[in-house]
Structure 1
Amino acid sequence: MTTLTNEDRLALIAAVERPGITPDDQMSEAGRKILAFHLARLLKREAGVREGSDPKDVHEMRVATRRMRSAIPIFEDYYTDDALKTPRKMLRRLAHALGGIRDIDVLRIKTEQYATRYDDNVRAGLVPLYEAWENQQAAARSELNDLLDSDAFEHFLVHFAQFLNTPNAQVATNNADTSSPKAMLVRHVAPTILYKRFEALRAFDSILDSATFDALHQMRIRAKEFRYALETFEEALGDQADSVIEAAKALQDHLGALQDARVAAGMLHDYMAQADENQPMTVILHYLATRQAEKQKLRGEVNANWATFNRPQVRQSLAASVAAL
């Protein structure tokens, strides 16, 4: 049984306005700052997530979870092998539980926007769909609350916070060999990290015309990883990093909308396959056709959105922001 109150959990890690990363930070300590920053943001939303009245709480907790999951691969080599093993596993479980709620929130918001364009008969035809989603979401919320109430989650919070609050804890190396030093500072390591992620994203340029929806989903993930890496080091980068972040975000948002439309169509198919055979489906079929048309429209706009991102100005801004290190 868990023993910490919400106030106890909030007190585990200090909430700050910015992580405070500098070019001269050791990577291990920069990682500590980033992970602590997002853990505090996660804990700030826990009470609201449990209450369940505001979808924004789930969204913000999910964002904080994603940010930590994205940061771990950047910084894990600078800690001992076991330092982030448990946090990685717990954050994966938490992301899955939050996703089960958030995906339906997004789907419902979009469906309600669609319904406002039609009369009461159409809105009534969507009610069984809402009811099915509410049942799915209730099950997902129960799973999430069970996780938040678990001893395993409390153990994760206490030990992860202790690790983050202890400078130089579980650092992999102190770089004692001065004859062959290892790059350990943000200013030395961040450029390679950023350009590796930029490289992984730009690789999609060669397959864009024939890219499948699965490939475009992977492209969205690479865009998100690049953006998150930029935002991780943003305080240490030059001023032009802002424009690169905005360009990456615009691309990610478009590909995200495409994936949302694709997921929505899949969920509507699943609903119809499981519904009572006597249930009227005209309204839902029309809505499905609308989401499929949206998916195709967004697919047709991918190349133009990519061209906006893949401009020389974006590459020049990236180079200038990295040069400030």
Structure 2
Amino acid sequence: MTKEAAQPSEVELKYAIDDLAKVQESVGGDQVAGLRAGDWRELQLEDIYFDTRDGRLQMAGWTARIRANGESVLLTLKSTSPNESNNGLHTRFEMEGPATNILNPGTWPESDAKTKLDELTAGEPLRERFRIKQVRCERDLSSRTGRAVLSIDEVTYHKGNRVLGNGHVLEVELRRGKPDLLEPVAAALMSAGGLRPELRSKESTAAALLEKGAKPPKKKPRLVAGKAPGITQHDSLAEAGRKVLRFHLAKMLAKEEGTRLGQDIEALHAVRVATRRMRAAWRVFDGAFRRGRERRYVAELRRVARALGAVRDLDVLLEGAALYVESLPQDEKVAIAPLFDDWRAKREAARAGLVALLDSPWYQKFVDDYISFTTTEEAGTRSVCAVEPQTVRDTAGSRIVAAYERVRAYDRVMPWADIETLHALRIEGKRLRYTLEFFKEALPPQAADLIGWVTELQDELGMMHDADVAADLSRAFLLERAARLSPASTHSVAVFLRSRQRERDRRRGTARRVWRRIVGPTFRRTLGRVLGGI
């Protein structure tokens, strides 16, 4: 299908569809983001992607295909480095010309695209890389200033007789006018939900699926975590600590690949929790290992945790944002979209940094060294004399009591505690919870009650903290973008900010009620029975 005006660049929005029915409903009306929507039409497309045997096109930064659409065949060359924004907009150089369904440029009519192809390949024979088959439903979106084509594609990726994968993709390609025409469309699509910006082209997706299918069978995990660390009362403090560290390292490594792929935010969450618990374990088992070894591992874990946290914190905010917009009318969803688009952009930037860290030689060296430490008995252990307390039975009680005392000390300031003080309490509560969890196997069953009560307080303070962060980021966004935001967007973000402030204050009140249980007689008596049972 030829464009109405010569376009040196392809300008389009591209999204991966998660909920097809929801997306079809959002774009099925007479208008989409104020643009007139034409009738739907269906196309059957088959694309053959090709290159030379030594990959000359890819090395030069180009991708090439021939597309069969009925009786016509079209050659398309595209640059492989699209300029992408956080709302799904892709811009890249594109050339097109007529072709035949034979993978031999000598049989194709002359065109600028063919001339460029000949220049890039230097006449080398072409070979098929893979095929992409699509059932495309498309319709025109138009206004006085331009026209675009919105399509919903059912995509299947093939290599020979093998199906590599499939999925649904929504694209909106600019055919006439300026890229500004697509901005309200992007905002409306993201607000309606059911899709997410697709950062990869279909060609890149197919190449990744092909590479994944060509990889050797998945290796066995380097560490395997059981149901629990396996601590006993008679373990030395160092070996109990090593068991805990090995247990959570295995959990981290089990979700490492999922975190790298980025397809499941819970994989990243699990890795972050594992790193937090390992950092907490070094505090709980303080004194069991040589100080230099402890400082080094804590610093390395902190570096990993910061990269994980930068992504996870935004995941949490975006999950809350998704719940917030569900009940909004369409115009308010569009108005608040710039705020959440900004968060998504920050999240993608943070994720790029995380993946770079996970793929770095430093990280691989850290993991290898840490595995060796957690699987080698006596490694890094501090020497102790015979009469020094050194077993779980002799040391767990004092460590649990010390953690509880640091929490209970907040009782003196709870009536007037500000957000910063309550956040500090949340951290101390987390440390108490982890201390109880680490020693749980060596404690009486009532320890589970203590863990549950502390977790309840931690959850309330966590939700208060999340609301406070959302309010702060919304305020910063308004201050930074005030001159560029529309009045409707400014109002919508301000309303959201106030809603997060109200949620923060509500959670603060709830946390204070939960607090009474932590410092009350039932908790203390239960704690006494637990300590007496060691």
Same fold (TM over 0.5): yes
1:37-52 pair list within 5 angstroms: 37-52=247-262
1:242 aligns with 2:448: yes
Deviation at 1:77, TM superposition (A): 1.2
1:231-310 pair list within 5 angstroms: 231-275=437-481, 277-280=483-486, 281-310=490-519
CA distance in 1, matches of 2:516, 2:275: 31
Q: Select which of 380, 384, 408 maps to 1:170.
A: 380
CA distance in 2, matches of 1:272, 1:245: 40
| Contact 1:45–1:57 under 8 Å retained in 2 | yes
Deviation at 1:108, TM superposition (A): 0.8
Consecutive unaligned residues of structure 1, counting only runs of 5 or more, are: none
Aligned to 1:188: 394
Q: What is the CA deviation profile of residues 51-78 of structure 1, one whole-angstrom value per residue up to 9, with x for unaligned ones?
A: 1111101111110010001001122411
CA distance in 2, matches of 1:307, 1:121: 44
CA distance in 2, matches of 1:90, 1:142: 19
Aligned to 1:150: 360
Q: What is the CA deviation profile of residues 182-219 of structure 1, one whole-angstrom value per residue up to 9, with x for unaligned ones?
A: 10000110100000010000000011111111111101
SS, match of residue 170 in structure 1? coil
Deviation at 1:311, TM superposition (A): 2.1
SS, match of residue 293 in structure 2? coil
Letter in 1 for 2:521: P
Q: What is the CA deviation profile of residues 90-131 of structure 1, one whole-angstrom value per residue up to 9, with x for unaligned ones?
A: 110111111111111111111111111221112112221221
Q: Select which of 97, 104, 109 maps to 2:314.
A: 104
| Contact 2:321–2:340 under 8 Å retained in 1 | no
Deviation at 1:7, TM superposition (A): 5.6
Deviation at 1:171, TM superposition (A): 1.4
| Contact 1:9–1:43 under 8 Å retained in 2 | no
Deviation at 1:20, TM superposition (A): 0.2
1:34-73 pair list within 5 angstroms: 34-73=244-283
| Contact 2:443–2:533 under 8 Å retained in 1 | yes
Scaled by the length of structure 2, the TM-score of the pair is: 0.58
Consecutive unaligned residues of structure 2, counting only runs of 5 or more, are: 1-215
Letter in 2 for 1:324: G
Aligned to 2:530: 321
CA distance in 2, matches of 1:26, 1:216: 35
> Percent of aligned positions with the same letter in both sequences?
33
Q: Which has the larger radius of gyration?
A: 2
| Contact 1:108–1:130 under 8 Å retained in 2 | yes
Deviation at 1:309, TM superposition (A): 2.4
CA distance in 2, matches of 1:160, 1:6: 25
Closer, same or farther: CA 31–8 of 1 in aligned 2, 3 Å: farther
Aligned Cα root-mean-square deviation (Å): 1.6
1:20 aligns with 2:226: no
Closer, same or farther: CA 89–7 of 1 in aligned 2, 3 Å: farther
Closer, same or farther: CA 6–276 of 1 in aligned 2, 3 Å: farther
Larger RCO (alpha carbons 8 Å, 6+ apart)? 1
CA distance in 1, matches of 2:220, 2:338: 39
| Contact 2:230–2:243 under 8 Å retained in 1 | yes
| Contact 2:444–2:530 under 8 Å retained in 1 | yes
Aligned pair count? 316
CA distance in 2, matches of 1:197, 1:25: 21
Q: Select which of 300, 308, 323 maps to 1:90.
A: 300
| Contact 2:403–2:432 under 8 Å retained in 1 | yes
Greater share of strand residues, 1 or 2? 2
CA distance in 1, matches of 2:342, 2:335: 13
Letter in 1 for 2:410: F
Scaled by the length of structure 1, the TM-score of the pair is: 0.93
